[in-house]
Structure 1
Amino acid sequence: MIYEGTQSNTYLLSTANVILDPRTAQRNLTVSEDGKQARFSGRLLPDSPLRFSNWYGILGKESFSSGRHYYEVQVGAKTCYVVGFVKESVERMKNIQKNTENGFLVFKLVTKDYNVSTTPDTSLSLNDPPKKVGAYVDYERGQVSFYNADTRSHIYSFTGYNFSEKLYPVVNPCSALPLDPLIISPVTPAAASPACLL
C-alpha cells in the first residue's frame, strides 16, 4: 500500500503486484520466469492471437475494473520504451496508432522524444528524465497518471475518461539499443510520500 493525497487529505492506495503475461508478449520478446522483466531478444516465439503482432508490447496478467492502482517500471538508460495501461479490447493483430482513441493510455520515450498517447501524441519536455516510471490508474475517476518514481514528480495525467472495460498494465521494451530489460520494480517505502501522487 502507498499513500495518495495531501498532508491534510491522505488515503491508502493499492500497489499493484504486476506480473507480465508471456502469452501476450510479441514474438520477439523474452520474459523472465518471475514475470517481472521483459526484453527484446529477436527469438521468434510461437504465434498466438493473444500476442501483439506489430508492436513489442506485453500485458500484465491482472486487469483492473475498479479502484486505484500503482506500479513502477525501471527503465534505466533505455532509449526507447512504453509504460502504461491499455483497454481490454485493444487491437493486437493489426498495425494501428497507439493512442487513446484506440485504447492506449501510455507514456513513452522514442528517439529522444518523451510523449504520451493522446490523439495526436503530445510531446513532453522533461528536465529530469526518469530512470524509474510510476504508472497510476484511478478507475472511478477516469484518470491515468505518470510519475518520475525517483523524484516523486508528476509527468502527465490523462483525465476525464469514463472507463467501462478492463484496463491492463502494458510495457514495451522496444528493439533499440541498449537492449536492457524493462523491470517491474517493487514500490519502496519512500513512495509513500504524499507528494508522490496528486
Structure 2
Amino acid sequence: MAAAVSAARLCRLAGRNLSSLSVRHRQAVSLPARRCYICASTGNNLQFRLDERTAHSSLDLFKKDTGVIYRMLGMDPSHVPDNPERFREWAVVFGDGKISSGRHYWEVTVKKSQEFRVGVAEAQMSREDCVGTNISSWVFGYAQRKWFAMTRNKMVPVTLVGKPERVGILVDYEAGLLMLVDVEKPRIIHTLRAQFKAPLCPAFGLWDGELLTHSGLEEPEGLK
C-alpha cells in the first residue's frame, strides 16, 4: 500500500458512513467548555469508558460502555440526541478519559471486524472529520487485510503478520509517541511520531464487528 492514497480510494478506507454522499472541506468546531470527562489521568493507569455522547448512530455501546458494536442500519440519526460532541457522518466514538501528560497504556480486543481504527485524537477535534484524516488525530487501522498507521490523511503500511484479536496502544504524551503493541511478546510493532499540544482522548473507528476496550492497565515490562 502506498504511503498516500487517492482521495477516491481513501473515501472508503476513511470509513465514511454509507449514508454520506459528498466530500467537502472540514472545519474545526468549537465544542462547549462544559465538556465533562470522568477521568483525567497523569499516571500510567488511564481508565476510561466509551463516551456515548460522541458515538455515531451506527455504534451501539455495551458491557458498561467499554465495548462497541457496529450495526449497519444503526439508529435513525434524528432519534439520537443532537449535540456538537457527536460524530454524525463517521462511525467513530471517543473514550471519556483525557490525556494531557504522562505515559498511558490500554488494550483493545477486536472481533469479526475487517475495518477498524484505534488510537488517539484531540478532545476538541472536529466532529466533521474521521480519525486519521486530520492533524488532530493519530491512529492505527486495519482494512483490506492490511495494517496501516494514519494521520493527516496519509497512510503508512505497518508490517504485521496476521490479524491479532487483541492489540495494545501506548501513548507517551511528552515524547509525542503513539505505539502499537503486540501483547503476546510484548513488543512495539510500530511507532507514530507527533507533537501533542492539546488534551487527547482514546479514539476508535469501527465499520463492522465489535471492539472491546481494556483500560486501567500497567504498561508491559520491556517496552522502550
Q: Distance in 1 between matches of 2:99 and 2:219?
A: 21
1:23 aligns with 2:42: no
Q: Distance in 1 between matches of 2:138 and 2:220?
A: 25
SS of residue paired to 2:111: coil
SS of residue paired to 2:99: coil
- Pair 1:76–1:27, CA change in 2 (3 A): closer
- Pair 1:125–1:165, CA change in 2 (3 A): same
What is aligned with 1:123?
A: 157
After the TM superposition, which parts of structure 1 deviate over 6 Å for at least 4 consecutive aligned residues? none
What is aligned with 2:70?
A: 40
TM-score norm. by structure 1 comes to 0.79
Assess if the C-alpha contact under 8 Å between 1:131 and 1:148 holds in 2. Answer: no
Assess if the C-alpha contact under 8 Å between 1:105 and 1:158 holds in 2. Answer: yes
Q: Distance in 1 between matches of 2:219 and 2:60?
A: 32
1:49 aligns with 2:84: yes
Unaligned residue ranges in structure 1 (runs of 5+):
1-12
Assess if the C-alpha contact under 8 Å between 2:117 and 2:142 holds in 1. Answer: yes
What is aligned with 1:90?
A: 125
Aligned identity (percent) is 25
Per-residue deviation, 1:194 = 2.0
What is aligned with 2:10?
A: none
Q: Distance in 1 between matches of 2:129 and 2:99?
A: 25
Q: Cα deviations across residues 61-106 of structure 1 (Å, max 9, x unaligned)?
A: 11110111111110134211111100123111x256733x431110
Assess if the C-alpha contact under 8 Å between 2:104 and 2:219 holds in 1. Answer: no
- Pair 1:76–1:66, CA change in 2 (3 A): same
What is aligned with 2:185?
A: 151
Q: 1:170 aligns with which of 189, 196, 203?
A: 203
Assess if the C-alpha contact under 8 Å between 1:146 and 1:154 holds in 2. Answer: yes
Q: How many residues align?
A: 176
1:111 aligns with 2:144: yes
1:134 aligns with 2:139: no
Q: What one-letter code is carried by the residue in structure 2 that aligns with 1:49?
A: P
Unaligned residue ranges in structure 2 (runs of 5+):
1-42
Q: Distance in 2 between matches of 1:97 and 1:183?
A: 18
Q: Distance in 2 between matches of 1:64 and 1:49?
A: 21
- Superposed CA RMSD in Å reads 2.2
Q: Distance in 2 between matches of 1:96 and 1:21?
A: 16
Q: Cα deviations across residues 27-57 of structure 1 (Å, max 9, x unaligned)?
A: 1111125110011121233332111122111
Q: 1:183 aligns with which of 206, 209, 212?
A: 212
Assess if the C-alpha contact under 8 Å between 2:108 and 2:211 holds in 1. Answer: yes
